[in-house]
Amino acid sequence: MFLTYVGIYDSVEDAKADYEAVHDLHVKAGLIDAYDAAVIERKENGKVKIVKKHETPTRVGGVGGGTLGLATGLVIALFPAAAIGGERVGMRLSPHGVNAGMTPYAEIDETYRALVPRLAAAGIQYLHLVDHSAMGAPEVPEALKRELRSAWPRTFVLAGGFDRAGVEAALREGRADLVALGRPFLANPDLVTRLERGMPLNPPDFATFYTPGPAGYTDYPKAA
């Protein structure tokens, strides 16, 4: 579980003071190896400088943090929002995902219910919600998807196992503003034409995913 705190200070010194205070709390609690944090400054010319940072060598996540420039835990994904403005940043979330050793825990849904409003408050432009159940991960509950959709004030993107009928249904029912297609695009260089004409799609070759060379990237056939 990650707890994330992100915000903006009027003073770099105030941000550094909170950074040090939270750092000391982690040291006293014996949790310094679970502490990721940084203070970042955006200059008037638009350039960004990392004033202070601490990255846990074990990458086990964030435990706590200050309020607003100071960020912990999931922070690396939020640096751009504080640095260049949320209107230029999107966030991709995978509730119930199992990639890279992620395991289920009882508070998954509660975590995302708490996280999404905070991301919205950071001004992030769009939220990209992925359901990996089509690839064997646990399914993201439909109720959670709808709750996060309702909690997000800007562009909301769904992804995961969609075909044309599923895309149209999600948009028609207002479950998303946009629907993302990944594997179909990889396997079909003419995907838009196929969808427009109702033509069958090439199945993706999973054995070629994340491999070097052209196989699986440039050798899928176009429709006749």
Pick left, alpha or beta for residue 101 (phi over 0 → left; psi -120 to 50 → alpha; otherwise beta).
Answer: left
- Mean pLDDT in residue range 146-153: 97
The pLDDT-based confidence of 149 (bands split at 50, 70, 90) is: very high
Confidence of residue 96 (pLDDT cuts 50, 70, 90): very high
152-196 pLDDT, tens per residue? 999 999 999 999 999 999 999 999 999 999 999 999 999 999 999
pLDDT band at 70 (very low <50, low <70, confident <90, very high): very low
Comparing 157 with 125, which gets the higher pLDDT? 157
Average pLDDT over residues 78-83: 53
What is the C-alpha separation between 179 and 161, in angstroms, rounded?
Answer: 10
pTM for the structure as a whole: 0.66
Q: Cα(157)–Cα(76) distance, rounded to whole angstroms?
A: 21
Q: What pLDDT shows up at residue 34? A: 59
Could you read off the pLDDT of 44-66 as tens digits, one per residue? 766 667 777 765 543 333 333 33
Cβ–Cβ under 8 Å, residues 76 and 91? no
